[in-house]
Amino acid sequence: MSEPLWTSAAIAEAASGSANADFTVNGVTFDSREVGAGDLFLALKGEVTDGHRFLDAAFDRGAAGSVVSDATAHPHVRVADTMAALNALGVAARARTDAKIIGVTGSVGKTGTKEALFAALDRCDPGAAHRSVKSYNNHTGVPLSLSRMPAATRFGIFEMGMNHAGELAALTRLVRPHVAIVTAIAPAHTAFFKDESAIADAKGEIFQGLEPGGTAIVPFDSPHRDRLIAAAQPHAARIVTFGLNEGADVRAIEHMRVPEGGTFVTARLGEHELSYTMRQPGAHWVSNSLAILAAVDAVGADLGLAGLALADFGGLAGRGARLKVALDGGEALVIDESYNANPSSMRATLAVLGQEPARRKLAVLGDMRELGSESAAYHAALADPVDEAGVVRAILVGEEMTALANALEGRVDFVHVPDAAAARDRLTAELTPGDAVLIKGSNAIGLASVVSALAGRG
């Protein structure tokens, strides 16, 4: 039998608490709705609710133990502060493993890169790779993901996000990566930063946590490349650049769309060349794949197996998943980018739509949030990419899309609706066989419900 993830004694030692019973757990969560058999439930106290209220529900769902700061009769480790205990578990999990740890950040591409990198390293050593799930990349998600890492892990991949300066500096010191990747710098969370250079500085904080001898992986084609290199130099023993342009350490010397809808890539890493086919189309995914290969090489894993994993890796729900929707007389293609949006990712995915061999190209585009005082300009600037993609019908969703509606007037047929429900009704009424539709917007707009409605028809 495999070793348990945690024992009550190990939890108590890590979190400076006291256990009322002996128990072992094989999972960790602070959401009672996600508790599975044998899990540890952390009763976190927040501004809105208190996890202690859900202890009964957690144990009804099969929790084997809990971490609490209030009295309870359930098996538990009692601590002074449950949030501090979560951080302590993350620190202890990181300290007890000999795994090679990779940290991933960037304005776009974090989750997809993290998931594809996990797939590559899991192919290299099946069952020995661990990664943060979903987009657990903040001050609670990162220590939770660390606390879930088995001691015998060989490769750990952790996504780290931020929307204010200083946040990544704290997260990277928890993760202590051997390899740190910045995927790209783009206008995102600009409401909290004076300009893109400030975003680059905040993303560059990831290098501050690098372990001695660590590797920094930097986007060569970014206008902020030199700024990121400067941020890495005090902390990294090695800096590797990746990109499509001459001069990158890991470079795509050839990439082309294949008839099945993916991308064939030939990459050069030093003296080596590797050819592989990705299921995802688009130059942004070519760039992501180069960062992945750089990281695989940095941790000494098998590049050939990584290439095979990239060929098998499909799109993620909300981040490029492609689904066929059955309609009377045929089917339509839905490109699901509903999880998030910023100006850079909007342009990239509209370019992908433009390459689709579809009868008609439609786009459902929702507000891009947290863009601050320049929001209207960023939205209006999408008019050219929409036009260039050959969109014949755009459904614009949300108040901030007013600027794009004004910019599209007389150029592209569009309708402007207030919310996702209205967008769903419009699209389901208009979609016809042979169409390809891109659905993209900030998560708060709720366009995932449009995708779900269409998937239900398939």
Mean pLDDT of the 370-388 span = 94
Average pLDDT score, the chain: 94
**What percent of the chain stands above pLDDT 70?**
98
DSSP letter (8 states) at residue 211:
P
Q: What is the pLDDT of residue 191?
A: 67
pLDDT in tens, 84-111: 999 999 999 999 999 999 999 999 889 9
Q: Is the pLDDT of residue 307 over 80?
A: yes
Rounded CA separation 231/34 (Å): 38
Spell 418-429 as b/e; 16+ CB within 10 A means b: eebeebbebbee
Range ranked top by mean pLDDT from 131-135, 179-183, 273-277, 312-316: 179-183
The answer to whether 157 and 291 have CB atoms below 8 angstroms apart is no
Q: What is the pLDDT of residue 116?
A: 95
> Of 166, 226, 158, nearest to 192 (Cα)?
166
**What percent of the chain stands above pLDDT 90?**
85
pTM score, whole prediction:
0.85
> Of 206, 205, 213, nearest to 237 (Cα)?
213
The answer to whether 239 and 245 have CB atoms below 8 angstroms apart is no
The answer to whether 397 and 365 have CB atoms below 8 angstroms apart is yes
Q: Which residues pair with 59 in a beta bridge?
A: none
Rounded CA separation 295/290 (Å): 9
The answer to whether 148 and 5 have CB atoms below 8 angstroms apart is yes
Q: What is the pLDDT of residue 205?
A: 98
Domains with residue ranges and CATH for the chain:
6-82 (3.40.1390.10), 97-312 (3.40.1190.10), 321-455 (3.90.190.20)
Spell 194-219 as b/e; 16+ CB within 10 A means b: eebeebbbbbbbbbbbbbeebbbbbb
The answer to whether 66 and 28 have CB atoms below 8 angstroms apart is no
Rounded CA separation 438/264 (Å): 22
Q: What is the pLDDT of residue 164?
A: 84
Handedness of CA 331, 334, 437, 286 (dihedral sign): negative
The answer to whether 228 and 254 have CB atoms below 8 angstroms apart is no
Rounded CA separation 448/365 (Å): 12
Rounded CA separation 355/350 (Å): 9
Q: How sure is the predictor about 173, in pLDDT bands with cuts at 50, 70 and 90?
A: very high
Q: Please work out, in degrees rounded to the nearest 5, the angle formed at the alpha carbon of residue 445 by the alpha carbons of 444 and 450.
A: 125
The answer to whether 293 and 253 have CB atoms below 8 angstroms apart is no
Rounded CA separation 211/179 (Å): 8
Q: Is the pLDDT of residue 76 over 70?
A: yes
Q: What are the tokens at 123?
A: 């192919």
Q: Is the pLDDT of residue 41 over 90?
A: yes
* Range scoring the smallest mean pLDDT among 231-240, 305-314, 382-391: 305-314
Q: What is the pLDDT of residue 458?
A: 40
Rounded CA separation 441/365 (Å): 6
Q: What is the pLDDT of residue 258?
A: 87
pLDDT in tens, 209-218: 999 999 999 9
78's enclosing H/E stretch is: strand 76-78
Rounded CA separation 187/191 (Å): 10
Mean pLDDT of the 375-397 span = 97
Mean pLDDT of the 423-428 span = 96
Q: Is the pLDDT of residue 1 over 50?
A: no
Chain centroid offset of residue 274 CA: 25
pLDDT in tens, 249-277: 999 999 998 877 789 999 999 888 999 99
275 burial via Cβ count (<10 Å: 0-12, 13-18, 19+): exposed
